[in-house]
Amino acid sequence: MIWNLIPAAVMPLAGMLFVLWLISIATGRVSFIDAFWGVGFVIVAWASADSAGGWSTIGNSARLVLVLVTLWGLRLGGYLLLRFLREGEDRRYVRLAGERTGLRRHLWSLTMVFGLQGLLILIIAAPLIGVMGDAPREIGAAGLAGAALWGVGVFFEWIGDWQLVRFRAVPDNEGKVLNTGLWAWTRHPNYFGDACLWWGLWLASGQWWAVFAPALMTFLLMKWSGKPMLEAGLRKRKPAYAAYIERTSGFFPRPPARGNGHAGP
């Protein structure tokens, strides 16, 4: 039944992204798309649930996944939208756009920003779509374990974001490196949390065939659009970041290294 739900998931997602692309043309900015990353998953999940018969038809296992992804997606969207309104265009998108202007820039953003994000959302949302299309199931041991792992991920993501906001709100911290709280244990507590909660959503969904979804999310965070792109800019702007890298884990939380020890990935 999952194949029957895909068109229902694609249409509202594509519509949202197309409208956002038009807004980007009018404003000359694209990085606000980040605020709609989580929202995209919420739209796909609810559209799939509606196509499968709605809240009253899907099972408790699907309802659990629906609630968890909604809480995550809306919180993340609100946080990133406020950050965009406060800080403006993300430097990473400026670097990616390069010297493109006019039509070339608009076509680049349509395909490599808005279009690519839509494709990634659909791929990673596979367990969400799958559980909505399944026969109704109760919440079993895997569902409880998934919800617990989601909770761990939410703790790291939400607390990490909160600590970062508080740090940036202090003018004297301009140019300094946040190395306390969760940020003393991992350079990216929010990214680690994101990976955890997506493994949790996959577990809770019971869609074992869709293991590629959390694996892809983890890869993006660790090796592509997350950690590498962010750290490339931080190394240049913050001289103290090199020392921070040496003593702090790059992703998985662990106690900070002492002396000349290397913290690892």
User: pLDDT tens digit string along 140-151?
Assistant: 999 999 999 999
Per-residue pLDDT of 209-262, as tens digits, reads 999 999 999 999 998 887 888 888 888 888 889 899 999 999 999 998 765 445
Helix (H, G, I), strand (E, B) or coil at 34: helix
Q: Is the pTM of this model over 0.85?
A: yes
**Ranges of H-type helices in the chain:** 2-27, 37-51, 60-87, 91-97, 102-108, 116-124, 126-133, 141-168, 189-205, 212-223, 227-237, 241-247
Confirm if 244 and 182 have CB atoms less than 8 A apart.
no
